[in-house]
Structure 1
Amino acid sequence: SVPLQQTLRHLQGAFANFWTRRAKYPTFKSRKKSRKSAEYTTSGFRFRDGRLTLAKMTQPLAIVWSRPLPEGVSPSTVTVSQDSAGRWFVSMLCDDRPTVPAPVNHAVGIDAGITALVTLSTGEKITNPRHERKDRERLARAQRELARKAEGDGANREKARLKVGRVYARIADRRRDFLHKLTTRLVRDNQVVVIEDLTVRNMLRNRRLSRAIADASWTEMRSMLEYKADWYGREVITVDRWFPSSKLCSACGTLQGRMPLNVREWTCDCGTTHDRDVNAARNILAAGLAVSACGDGVRPQRSTPGGQSS
């Protein structure tokens, strides 16, 4: 009865969001295509000595732990779910806060890209692993097999669907693992992290780059940076999306004219030769530190300092 009650609570929350215009009208989720899940509160499970037993079960679940629970903490909610690849997961909600490390005197600006997933203001470039492109042939083959299975083909179509789900799960798992390691390193090593406010939804309309942009997963990376910064007592500063970070000389402040994407290096009138991405990361860092100092937002720069011509 507990998962049914939780479902009704979720439905009530969905309608509350709809009536307050925070979300669209709730829709039914497909049992075949959507992630299956059941949520249990404290009355629906028993957790003793590291063993979890759900209601109506005589034996505890055989769990392979991804990491141990914090000491002295008991789960308040347990969610059992199955993904599109047929794998089962148990998620435990606990009331715990990580230990806040000591502050550090480092700040970094981050310029997101496709060839280099992120370029740091220190000059370091982290290559984009392109997980989707590496498994593109395997995914296409699995999708062709699924397309050849007619609707209502029963077990054969379900087997083909699971193959597609496993390929997608492999891509998503590797991408998520890479982003977790990258964002944890950035947050631990820097007190201030400055990023651009990218409109990924609009950028995905570019048919030539949409697949590469989706594979880079900039939105998920930003989300990880923000909640990990909250955990570790760090600060994430967002710079306006129209700030001309690539066209602004980080040495003298001169604003260049039009600069297409194929220009990766350029030389300013002051004689400084810039790598496009490193220069952008340095400008993003400088703008973010200005925000931190004065508390004002970063607005797009329309002209160069001192009335110089662009």
Structure 2
Amino acid sequence: RILSRRKKGSARWEKQRLKVAALQEKTANQRKNFLHHQSKELASTYDAVIIEDLDMKGMSQALHFGKSVHDNGWGMFTTFLSYKLKEQGKQLVKIDKWFPSTKKCSCCGAEKPMKLSERTYRCSCGYVA
């Protein structure tokens, strides 16, 4: 806000612009550091990581999240995770956003329609989740 009140091109404007740039750089570095730590933890803990292929642009427009969806660095996180897993010879699997993971039995692979209100999955093979 202070920068917007300064006359563009003046010495005080330039000084304030540098302050704003430093703050934005610090925020970007904090986000990058956090994403590196999280991706390293996942890569060292698991042999395979399965993520959903999300449409972040669509989410920001349709769900009225706006900038907060773009601000979380999902693309950067998936990039970090993929190269760290590749270095260790592990696997990153991207699943389509319409894959019925909650309707599919993890034991036999049978698919069963479920309402959103249902919280317990019971399969015909006897598996309960």
TM-score (normalizing by structure 1): 0.35
Equivalent residue runs for 1:32-51 within 5 Å? none
**Are the equivalent residues in 2 in contact too, given 1:193–1:235 (CA < 8 A)?**
yes
> Contact 1:197/1:241 (CA < 8 Å) preserved in 2?
yes
2:85 alignment partner, one of 217, 226, 229: 229
Opposite residue 220 of structure 1, the aligned amino acid is: M
Distance in 2 between residues matched to 1:250 and 1:215, nearest whole Å:
35
CA distance in 1, matches of 2:18, 2:63: 28
Q: CA deviation at 1:269?
A: 6.8
1:206/1:164 CA distance change after superposition, 3 Å: farther
* 1:183/1:221 contact within 8 Å kept: yes
Task: Indicate the SS of the match to 1:256.
Answer: coil
Q: Aligned Cα RMSD in Å?
A: 2.6
Q: CA deviation at 1:230?
A: 1.5
Q: Deviations over 1:92-151 (max 9, x none)?
A: xxxxxxxxxxxxxxxxxxxxxxxxxxxxxxxxxxxxxxxxxxxxxxxxxxxx01110122
In structure 2, the CA distance between the partners of 1:244 and 1:163, relative to structure 1 (3 Å rule), is: farther
Structure with greater strand percent: 1
Change in CA separation of 1:168 and 1:206 when aligned onto 2, cut-off 3 Å: farther
- Could you tell me which of 167, 170, 176 is aligned with 2:23? 167
Aligned-pair identity in percent equals 28
SS in 2 for 1:242: coil
Between the two proteins, the alignment pairs up a number of residues equal to: 121
Cα distance in structure 2, aligned partners of 1:210 and 1:231: 34
Rg larger in structure: 1
Q: Which has the higher helix share?
A: 2
Work out whether 1:244 is the aligned partner of 2:96.
Answer: no
Please show how residues 114-133 of structure 1 align to structure 2 within 5 Å.
Answer: none
| Structure 1 pair 250–150 and aligned structure 2 pair: CA distance change class (3 A) | farther
Query: Comparing both chains, which one has the higher relative contact order based on Cα–Cα distances under 8 Å and sequence gaps of 6 or more?
Result: 2
Gap runs ≥5 in structure 2: 125-129
Residue 249 (structure 1) shift: 6.2
Q: Which amino acid aligns with 2:119?
A: T
Shift of 1:212: 2.3
Structure 1 stretches of 4+ moved >3 Å: 249-253
